[in-house]
Amino acid sequence: MPAAGRVLLCSVTMWLLLQSLLLLASCLRPAAAFPKGCYPSEEEGLKTFRCSNAQLTEVPRDIPNDTNKLYLDSNRIPFLPRDAFRDLPLLLELDLSHNAIASIESGAFRGLAEHLRSLDLSSNRLVSVSKDTFSNLKAKVNLSNNPWLCDCQLQELIRTVDLAAGSSGGIMCDSATQEEHVGKAFLQVIANADFCNVYKRTTDIAMLVTMFGWFAMVISYLVYYVRQNQEDARRHLEYLKSLPSKQRRSEESSTISTVV
């Protein structure tokens, strides 16, 4: 083979080898940064990141920011902090079901309002969540199979979110402000009861009782003050009666004018 041919063949071989090494490096570097049990894939043309059943105790970092579907289900995550998903602007679906989530900080889903269309929080340990947690979210939300406290706050939350189809029946009263509602479906309960009106009536009654208490205290003080003055005036008049008549008349006039 001519020398020029050998040089060309070596150059092509080296170029292909270099490209192969670069491709291998690009595949290995992200994989090394992912938590054990997490891996990227593509499903139905959408970039997916799966961390199902990976024994996670927090939302992992270094999730590719072009992820469209994120699966963090069946882990041990107990808490969602503020801005937990702020670097995922293209996220469409978020599955957090079957975790140990008992608390969600306000702003945890900030940055997802524009694109997120599905949020699964079913089978966690949620008891009470502020309605502001899901402010501006347009996603369908699954809140079923959590140990909910049925009260005014849950009622306001349910009115705020767009529940996923078929999930409303799984929102049960594990505890409630009224004992007879425990064990019942929340939507069934609020069909016949308004927790927020009950709370308002209770607050109004408490205010009335407080005002009545203050009014009673003021009246009691006025009665005591009048009686005390009357008693002082009576003792003074008795004292005047014991004085000589001329001095007594002068003192009585002074006392009467003072009382009047």
Q: Indicate which CATH number applies to the domain containing 130.
A: 3.80.10.10
Hey, how many other C-beta atoms are within 10 angstroms of the C-beta on 185? 17
DSSP three-state, residue 75: coil
Mean pLDDT (whole number) for 47-76 = 96
Supply the mean pLDDT for the chain. 80
- Please give the tally of structural domains in the chain: 2
DSSP three-state, residue 233: helix
Instruction: Please report whether residue 82 resides in a domain.
Output: yes
- Return the pLDDT at 137: 93
Contact (Cβ atoms closer than 8 angstroms) between residue 54 and residue 36: yes
* Same domain (yes/no): 36, 164: yes
* Better pLDDT: 221 or 28: 221
* Same domain (yes/no): 47, 93: yes
* Same domain (yes/no): 50, 98: yes
* Better pLDDT: 30 or 175: 175
Q: Domain boundary residue among 137, 166, 192?
A: 192
Q: Would the pLDDT of 130 be above 80?
A: yes
* Same domain (yes/no): 65, 170: yes
Instruction: Please report whether residue 216 resides in a domain.
Output: yes
Contact (Cβ atoms closer than 8 angstroms) between residue 46 and residue 69: yes
Mean pLDDT (whole number) for 159-183 = 94
Residue 76: domain span: 31-192
- Return the pLDDT at 198: 58
Partners of 176 in the β-ladder: 150
